[in-house]
C-alpha cells in the first residue's frame, strides 16, 4: 500500500485501454467487492439505476450496456466497499491517534456505520443515538446569538432533494451562510458568465459533440477527471474534428487514448491521437493566449477578410468596440511572453477557430482557479460571441463541472448570494420571511471561524478543512468552534479536526437503496450539461443505522425549529412531495417535474442562450473587457515559480485511492514537484532532489511544505505542479478571485528552499 518504494517512470503508452481495465479490476478486489461491485457497475448510469457518484459529465445516452470508466469504478468500489468503521474501531483509536494517520489510511477504513459523538473526557468518538444527535444540533443552533454564527457547507454529491430542503431549513433558521464546494471550483462560471451571457452554466449538450467542427479543451484533465468525455473526443477525432488542448501539462489521455469500449483498438493495442494541436501554456497564460487569438481575428477582419459573424453581433451583442480596442492595444511580444506561446502557434489556433462554423470551448480548474478567473471566463464568452458560437448545434461554452451534483445543488438553492426574486418565491411557497443579506462563501467562512464569529459548522458531505486553502490556519479555525458536524459516508480529516462538540453522522450512499414508510424512494441529479435524471440505488445500505441525507436534513430542521410550519415529517418519507415544492419555487425550469422525471432519460433544464435569449439586464450578450494580460497579480521576485495544485489519476478530491499517478509516471509517492529540467538546473538541483517550497506572500504568515521530490517534467519554464490537498498549506486564504471567492489554487507564487 502506501509504504512501497517510490518509482518514477515516464508513461509513453496511450491512456485508457488495458491499463484502465486492469485498474478497475484491482480496485474492486482491493475493496473486496468484485462480484457486488461488478453487479452494481451494470446498473450505474442505466435507466432505473443510480448515477455515478464520481464526476458531473453526462451519460452517453445508454448507447453501450456498460459504459466503461475506470475512475467511476473506483468511486463506486470505494463506496460499496466491504470495510466498515464501527464503534469498536472508535473505541480502539483515540481522535489524536487517528489524527496521525494519513488521508489514505482513513479512507481505507471503510464506511461509517452509526452516529458518533466526540467525548472530550476520553478523546474518543462514542456512539450516540440519532435522537440525541439531532437534539444536540438543535440546542447549539438555538443557543446562538445570531443565526449568522452558523455555517452550512454543502459538497456536490448531495442530491437535489436533500440540498433543496437544506437550503429551506437554513433560510428558515435565518441565514444565507452557504459555503459550498462550488465556491472552490466552478464559481467563476456561476458568477462570471451571468453578466456576459445571462446564465452561469454551460450551453453545450452532448449531441453538440456530433455537430461540432472544432473543440478547445483548456485547463482540464479529461482522461482523469471526466473520463466519460473521452468517448466523445475519440468520436470527434475519428470524424476529423480538430481538438486544441491548452495546458501546462501534456496530459496523457489528451495526447493519445485507447477506448476501452473499442474491441478492435483494445485487441490491436491501437489508439486515437486526441489533440491535433497541443498548446503548452504557461500557468496563468490563458488570457494572453485568448487575446492573441482575438487579435488575429480583428487583424484579419481589418484586412478585409469576413472573419466575424457580423449579423449575430449586430443582433445580439453589446460591447464589440470596447473589446476590439482592448485586444488591439495588446502587444504581440507581451502576448508571447506571458502566454509562453509563439505567435505562429497562436495564429494556427486562431485559424482552426476561424475555419470552424461551430466551436465549443470546454474548460476546467486550469481556468477557474486564478485571481481573475470570473473575468477570464468572460473573455472565453467574448471569443465565442465573435463568431456567433451560441444557439446553434455543435457550438457553445462548456464548463466541465466537478462533483456529480454540484450544479444541481446550486440550481435548487445552495447559494450564499441568492437573488431577491428567488427569496420572494421561497416566502410565497413556504410562508416564512427568508433573510435578505448575503451569507458567507467558503473563504469568508474560514475568516469567520478565525475571527471567532462562527460557532457552529455543519458539513453536508465533503471534507471542508482539507479542501480549503491555508491548511494550518483552517485547522486552527475549525478547532475554535463549539460544534462541528460531519454528514458523511467515509471517515475523513474533517471529523478529526473538530469543535468542542462534534458529531459524525453516517449516510446512505448514492449506490444504495432508500426505503421509507412510503416505499422505495429515488433522488435526482443535474449533470454538467443541465440534464436532470433520477438516481435509484441498488445495493443494501452500508449499515441499518445509516440515514438518507433527506431524513438527516429534515430531522435537523425539526430539532432546531420546533415551531416551523413546514411539513418536514412528510418530506422524510415522500421525495415526490419535495420535488413538487422544487417545481413551485422554480416554475420556469422545473414545472411538471413529477411528470418529466418519469422519462428514464430525464430531461433538460432550459438554458436560455441556447435559444439566443440573454437574461442580462439589457437583454443582450455583453462583451466585457478585462484589461491587460495577467490573471494573477505579478510577483517581482526572480526566484518565483507559479505552482498549480492538481489531482492525480488516483484520487477523488481529498479522497486518495492510491499513491500512484500512472499517466504522469509517478508510483507510490504524492510528495512530488513537477518541474522543467532547466528551472531545476538553474537552482543547482539534481533530478530527484528533496526540497521544500515556501509561499511568497506579503501577509507575514510563513507557509512551507517540506519533503518534496523534484521530478523533471515537461512543464513550461517558471511553472511547477504538485498535488492537492498535500500542498494546500501553501495556498494563502486571501489569494482568491474577488468576484467568485474561488481560491487561486492554480497560481500560488512559491520559491524552492533547500535544507
Ligand atoms: N477521478 C476524479 N474525477 C474528478 C475529480 C477527482 O478528484 N478525481 N474531481 C472532480 C472535481 S470536484 C472537479 S472540479 C473536476 C476537476 O477536474 P480538472 O478541471 O481537470 O482539475 P485539475 O486536476 O485540478 O486540473 C486541471 C488541469 O489544469 C491544468 N492547469 C493548471 N494551471 C493551468 C493554467 O494556468 N492554464 C491552463 N490552461 N491549464 C492549467 C492542469 O495541468 C490540469 O491538467 O474533476 C471532477 N472529477
Ligand atoms: N489546492 C487545491 N484545493 C482545492 C482544489 C484544487 O484543485 N486545489 N479543488 C477544489 C475543488 S474543485 C473542490 S470541488 C473541493 C472539494 O471539496 P469537498 O467536496 O469538500 O471534498 P471531497 O474530497 O470531495 O469530499 C469527500 C468526502 O465526502 C464524503 N462523501 C462522499 N460521498 C458522499 C455522499 O454521497 N454523501 C455525503 N453526505 N457525503 C459523502 C466522504 O465522507 C468523503 O470523505 O476542493 C477544492 N480544493
Ligand atoms: Mo470541484
CA of 331 to the centre of ligand 3 (A): 35
| pLDDT category of residue 2 using cuts at 50, 70 and 90 | very low
pLDDT at 11: 87
Ligand 2 atom nearest residue 510's Cα: 35
Give the predicted TM-score (pTM) of the model. Answer: 0.96
Closest Cα to atom 25, ligand 2: which residue?
Answer: 462
Q: How far apart are CA 663 and CA 666, in angstroms?
A: 8
Give the pLDDT confidence of 536-561 residue by residue, as tens digits: 999 999 999 999 999 999 999 999 99
| Closest-CA residue to 182 (of 401, 378, 377) | 401
Give the pLDDT confidence of 190-244 residue by residue, as tens digits: 999 999 999 999 999 999 999 999 999 999 999 999 988 998 999 999 999 999 9
Q: How far apart are CA 407 and CA 402, in angstroms?
A: 9
Query: In this structure, are residues 741 and 444 in contact, taking their beta carbons and an 8 Å threshold?
Result: yes
Closest Cα to atom 11, ligand 1: which residue?
Answer: 402
Ligand number, closest to the Cα atom of 404 = 1
What percent of the chain is predicted at pLDDT more than 70? 98
Give the pLDDT confidence of 269-311 residue by residue, as tens digits: 778 889 999 999 999 999 999 999 999 999 999 999 999 999 9
Q: How far apart are CA 735 and CA 468, in angstroms?
A: 12
Ligand number, closest to the Cα atom of 227 = 1
pLDDT at 65: 40
Ligand 2 atom nearest residue 403's Cα: 14
Closest Cα to atom 3, ligand 1: which residue?
Answer: 225
Residue with cell 486562431: 350
Give the pLDDT confidence of 150-199 residue by residue, as tens digits: 999 999 999 999 999 999 999 999 999 999 999 999 999 999 999 999 99
Residue with cell 482540464: 220
| Closest-CA residue to 153 (of 166, 144, 142) | 166
Ligand 1 interacting residues, C-beta cut-off 6 A: 54-55, 71, 185, 218-221, 224-226, 246-249, 251, 281, 283-284, 286, 364-366, 402-403, 644, 646-647, 651-653, 746
Query: In this structure, are residues 620 and 318 in contact, taking their beta carbons and an 8 Å threshold?
Result: yes
Tell whether the torsion through CA atoms of 469, 200, 44 and 576 is positive or negative: positive
Range in 14-23, 129-138, 631-640 with the lowest mean pLDDT = 14-23
Closest Cα to atom 46, ligand 1: which residue?
Answer: 402
Residue with cell 511553472: 719
| Closest-CA residue to 241 (of 380, 394, 17) | 394
Range in 32-46, 353-367, 678-692 with the lowest mean pLDDT = 32-46
| pLDDT category of residue 384 using cuts at 50, 70 and 90 | very high
Strand partners, 153: 459
Residue 432 pLDDT > 60: yes
Query: In this structure, are residues 690 and 708 in contact, taking their beta carbons and an 8 Å threshold?
Result: yes
Find the angle CA(129)-CA(132)-CA(138) to the nearest 5 degrees: 145
pLDDT at 156: 95
Closest Cα to atom 38, ligand 2: which residue?
Answer: 461
Tell whether the torsion through CA atoms of 555, 550, 439 and 149 is positive or negative: positive
| pLDDT category of residue 58 using cuts at 50, 70 and 90 | confident
- The stretch 72-89 carries a mean pLDDT of 94
Residue 683 pLDDT > 50: yes
CA of 482 to the centre of ligand 1 (A): 35
pLDDT at 259: 78
Closest Cα to atom 24, ligand 1: which residue?
Answer: 646
Q: How far apart are CA 318 and CA 624, in angstroms?
A: 9
CA of 224 to the centre of ligand 1 (A): 8
Domains of the chain: 111-180+406-600 (3.40.50.740), 188-404 (3.40.228.10), 641-753 (2.40.40.20)
Mean pLDDT value across the chain: 95
Q: How far apart are CA 187 and CA 531, in angstroms?
A: 19
| Closest-CA residue to 739 (of 374, 283, 239) | 374
CA of 372 to the centre of ligand 2 (A): 23
Q: How far apart are CA 637 and CA 478, in angstroms?
A: 34
Range in 35-39, 70-74, 281-285, 674-678 with the lowest mean pLDDT = 35-39
DSSP letter, residue 214: E
Range in 127-131, 147-151, 249-253, 292-296 with the lowest mean pLDDT = 249-253
Residue 24 pLDDT > 90: no
Ligand number, closest to the Cα atom of 281 = 1
- The stretch 388-400 carries a mean pLDDT of 98
CA of 461 to the centre of ligand 2 (A): 8
pLDDT at 3: 58
Give the pLDDT confidence of 452-485 residue by residue, as tens digits: 999 999 999 999 999 999 999 999 999 999 999 9
pLDDT, greater one: 43 or 424 = 424
706 is written with which cell numbers? 517540506
Amino acid at each position: 500500500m502506501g509504504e512501497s518504494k517510490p518509482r518514477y517512470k515516464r508513461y509513453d503508452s496511450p491512456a485508457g485501454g488495458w491499463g484502465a481495465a486492469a485498474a478497475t479490476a484491482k480496485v474492486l478486489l482491493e475493496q473486496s467487492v468484485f462480484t457486488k461491485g461488478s453487479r452494481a457497475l451494470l446498473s450505474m448510469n442505466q435507466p432505473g439505476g443510480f448515477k455515478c457518484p464520481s464526476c458531473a459529465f453526462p451519460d452517453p445516452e445508454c448507447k453501450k450496456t456498460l459504459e466503461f470508466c475506470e475512475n467511476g469504478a473506483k468511486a463506486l468500489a470505494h463506496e460499496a466497499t466491504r470495510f466498515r468503521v464501527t464503534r469498536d474501531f472508535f473505541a480502539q483509536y483515540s481522535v489524536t491517534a487517528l489524527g496521525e494517520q494519513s488521508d489514505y489510511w482513513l479512507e481505507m477504513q471503510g464506511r461509517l456505520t452509526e452516529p458518533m459523538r466526540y467525548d472530550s473526557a476520553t478523546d474518543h468518538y462514542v456512539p450516540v443515538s440519532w435522537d440525541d444527535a439531532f437534539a444536540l444540533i438543535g440546542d447549539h443552533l438555538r443557543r446562538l446569538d445570531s443565526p449568522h454564527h452558523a455555517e452550512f457547507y454543502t459538497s456536490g454529491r448531495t442530491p437535489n432533494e436533500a440540498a433543496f430542503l437544506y437550503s429551506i431549513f437554513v433560510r428558515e433558521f435565518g441565514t444565507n451562510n452557504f459555503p459550498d464546494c462550488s465556491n472552490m471550483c466552478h464559481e467563476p462560471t456561476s458568477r462570471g458568465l451571468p453578466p456576459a451571457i445571462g446564465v452561469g452554466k454551460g450551453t453545450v449538450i452532448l449531441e453538440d459533440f456530433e455537430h461540432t467542427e472544432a473543440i478547445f479543451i483548456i485547463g482540464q484533465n479529461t482522461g482523469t477527471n471526466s473520463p466519460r468525455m473521452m468517448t466523445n473526443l475519440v468520436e470527434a477525432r475519428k470524424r476529423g474534428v480538430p481538438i486544441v488542448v491548452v495546458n501546462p501539462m501534456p496530459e496523457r489521455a489528451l495526447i493519445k487514448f485507447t477506448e476501452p469500449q473499442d474491441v478492435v483498438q483494445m485487441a490491436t493495442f491501437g489508439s486515437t491521437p486526441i489533440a491535433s494541436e497541443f498548446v503548452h501554456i504557461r500557468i496563468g497564460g490563458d488570457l494572453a493566449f485568448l487575446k492573441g487569438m482575438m487579435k488575429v481575428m480583428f487583424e484579419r477582419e481589418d484586412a478585409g477578410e469576413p472573419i466575424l459573424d457580423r449579423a449575430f453581433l449586430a443582433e445580439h451583442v453589446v460591447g464589440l468596440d470596447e473589446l476590439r480596442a482592448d485586444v488591439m492595444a495588446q502587444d504581440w511580444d507581451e502576448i508571447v511572453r506571458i502566454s509562453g506561446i509563439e505567435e505562429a502557434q497562436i495564429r494556427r489556433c486562431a485559424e482552426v477557430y476561424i475555419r470552424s462554423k461551430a466551436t465549443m470551448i470546454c474548460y476546467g480548474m486550469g481556468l477557474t482557479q486564478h485571481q481573475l478567473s470570473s473575468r477570464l471566463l468572460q473573455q472565453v464568452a467574448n471569443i465565442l460571441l465573435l463568431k456567433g458560437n451560441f444557439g446553434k448545434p455543435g457550438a457553445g461554452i462548456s464548463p466541465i463541472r466537478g462533483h456529480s451534483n454540484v450544479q444541481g445543488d446550486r440550481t435548487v438553492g445552495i447559494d450564499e448570494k441568492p437573488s431577491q426574486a428567488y427569496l420572494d418565491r421561497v416566502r410565497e411557497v413556504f410562508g416564512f420571511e427568508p433573510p435578505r443579506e448575503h451569507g458567507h462563501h467558503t473563504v469568508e467562512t474560514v475568516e469567520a471561524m478565525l475571527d471567532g464569529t462562527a460557532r457552529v459548522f455543519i458539513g453536508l458531505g465533503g471534507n471542508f478543512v482539507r479542501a480549503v486553502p491555508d491548511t494550518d490556519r483552517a485547522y486552527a479555525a475549525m478547532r475554535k468552534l463549539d460544534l462541528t458536524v460531519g454528514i458523511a459516508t467515509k471517515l475523513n480529516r474533517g471529523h478529526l479536526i473538530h469543535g468542542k462538540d462534534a458529531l459524525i453522522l453516517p449516510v446512505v450512499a448514492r449506490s444504495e437503496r432508500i426505503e421509507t414508510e412510503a416505499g422505495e424512494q429515488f433522488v435526482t441529479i443535474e449533470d454538467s450539461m443541465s440534464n436532470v435524471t433520477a438516481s435509484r440505488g441498488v445495493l443494501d445500505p452500508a449499515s441499518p443505522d445509516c440515514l438518507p441525507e433527506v431524513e438527516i436534513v429534515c430531522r435537523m430542521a425539526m430539532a432546531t425549529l420546533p415551531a416551523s410550519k413546514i411539513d418536514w415529517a412528510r418530506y422524510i418519507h415522500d421525495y415526490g412531495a419535495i420535488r413538487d415544492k422544487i417545481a413551485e419555487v422554480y416554475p420556469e425550469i422545473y414545472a411538471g417535474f413529477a411528470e418529466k422525471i418519469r422519462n428514464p432519460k430525464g430531461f433538460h433544464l432550459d438554458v436560455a442562450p441556447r435559444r439566443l435569449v440573454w437574461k442580462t439586464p439589457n437583454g443582450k450578450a455583453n462583451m466585457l473587457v478585462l484589461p491587460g494580460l495577467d490573471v494573477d497579480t505579478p510577483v517581482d521576485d526572480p526566484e518565483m515559480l507559479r505552482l498549480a495544485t492538481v489531482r492525480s489519476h488516483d484520487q477523488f478530491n481529498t479522497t486518495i485511492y492510491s499513491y500512484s499517478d500512472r499517466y504522469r509516471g509517478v508510483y507510490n509517492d504524492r510528495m512530488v514537484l513537477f518541474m522543467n529540467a532547466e528551472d531545476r538546473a538553474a537552482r543547482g538541483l539534481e533530478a530527484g532532489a528533496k526540497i521544500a517550497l515556501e509561499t511568497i506572500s506579503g501577509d507575514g504568515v510563513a507557509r512551507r511544505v517540506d519533503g518534496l521530490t523534484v521530478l523533471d517534467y515537461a512543464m513550461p519554464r517558471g511553472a511547477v505542479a504538485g498535488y492537492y490537498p498535500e500542498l494546500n498549506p501553501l495556498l494563502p486564504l486571501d489569494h482568491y478571485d474577488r468576484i467568485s471567492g474561488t481560491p487561486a489554487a492554480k497560481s500560488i507564487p512559491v520559491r524552492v528552499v533547500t535544507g
